[in-house]
Amino acid sequence: MSAGVSVAGLRKRAWYQRPRWRRLGALLVTAVVLAQVTGEQGVRGDLFAALEANATGPGMWLWLGVALLVWVVREFLHDWVRGVVSGVREGAARPVAGPREALGLQGAPWWAVHVWLPVMVVRGVRYVAELVRRDRRLRWGGMAALLLFLVFLPLMVATYWQQVLVDQIGVYVLLAIGLNVVIGWAGMLDLGFIAFFAIGAYSAAYWTGALPVRPPVELNNFLVIPVAVVTCLIAGVLLGAPTLRLRGDYLAIVTLGFHEIVYLMARNWTDVTGGTRGTSPERVDNFSLDLGFLSYEWGLDPVPYYWLQLGFAVLIVFLFMRLEHSRVGRSWTAIREDEIAAAASGVDTVRFKLLAFAIGASTSGVAGVIYASKQGFINSEMFVVLMSVLVLSYVIFGGMGSIPGVMAGAALLVWLPEALRDSVDPADRYMYLGAVLVVMMIYRPQGLIPSRRRQRELRLAEGVPASASVSASVSGGEKA
């Protein structure tokens, strides 16, 4: 009997070993780490001054309070929260047949506002989105209103944000649109996409006479754009030709190597590219227009460059949307889903994979010319591999295969570090960006604005019936 009692005592866990208290300990440790990360920064002379200040400052108590609140909700209000979330999901998933049903107020008791308010918001957004999608007039009207807002956007912000719109957001949006062709539509992982951006920028520097090597004839920047596009097309074909039999990680390594080749050539071939010195003391010409009756030169004001970027972005988006629903776009989708099955169905995989590399690279050529002209100076250190990783992150965050998604994702994630500049140390900004990406990939892997096809694929992979992803009709009485 004594032996049995002793064994039972050994099996009994102490109170601090129970899951509830272990979770509390993990949350408290996380709160302490976050308080140190978000608190004062250390200095070389006194490494422990920041630790002491953060340990006794208000930030520590704030994070500890948040950790305790999360623990209390998790341990004691878990069933209630789960019921609320389930009610919101069930209410939001029911078909929306009209404005009254979109509000989701039928049979809602007065005390259930905490459930029905989010239901009303979700169903209302679904109803408006479905109505816009099905009514061509509303769709085109919404797009026109959005375009009008984007045209006047730089006039409503400060000069600093005008520079951000042109030098960062506009450039990365164009790059994300091009990379979406390779990754989102054709399903080929490309980690060296920024090499085409560098080729476009150096094309602008060369053909405007800003490099140590002089061109046979100097061209206007508008004439450089088609030359840069053709150059990037050829580079895309040269990259795609040796990689036709590669996929996945192997393709990513090859594209990464291609970027390093371009980067090291720009850095070490000083007689041609200027190396790290770049185009100094020469300057890349600004855009200029001279039609006889009308002449204009882009100067230091970022607003005209923003409008130029917006015009090219609208043109590229229009062409790419037409391309997505064409035979070429459907062939890319087939290759992305199953290349062997696509080849067996008669799709020329070699041709369409080369087209994906070439067409995606052409957008980088346009972005490179605009960027070099706006900056007036380029060197090899402007095209490091981190930029390729960032563009890839923006595409995945926004939603691979969705043009509105990749544009919104790029704009949002480029804006975020700049919005944190007054409250977060520059060395820590990308830490918050990484945290946003991690949370997004856990809770919404399809992206911010996913394509319908991509969203349906993820639902099927999770075991959700395809019919569950089909949104309800807005016509009266029609069910999903």
Per-residue CA distances from 78 to 11, 74, 113 (Å)? 28, 5, 19
Query: What CA–CA distance (Å, rounded) separates 386 from 194?
Result: 9
Residue of 173, 177, 159, 209 lying closest to 372 (CA atoms) = 209
Query: Full-prediction pTM beyond 0.85?
Result: no
Q: Residue 10: what pLDDT?
A: 53
Give CA–CA dist 152/373, Å, rounded.
23
At residue 124, the pLDDT reads 66
SS3 445: coil
Task: State the pLDDT at residue 241.
Answer: 82
Q: Indicate the DSSP class of residue 242.
A: G
Q: Residue 187: what pLDDT?
A: 86
Cα torsion through 402, 407, 409, 411, rounded to 10: 180
Tokens, residue 152: 């006047």
- Average pLDDT per 10 consecutive residues for the chain, totaling 480 residues: 52 68 86 80 67 79 88 82 67 54 49 52 67 76 89 91 92 93 89 91 90 88 92 87 80 89 91 85 83 81 92 93 88 86 87 89 91 90 90 91 91 89 77 84 84 68 51 38
Looking at residue 295, what is its pLDDT? 83
pLDDT for the residue numbered 325:
83
- CA diameter of the chain: 108
**Secondary element (H or E) of residue 390:** helix 385-398
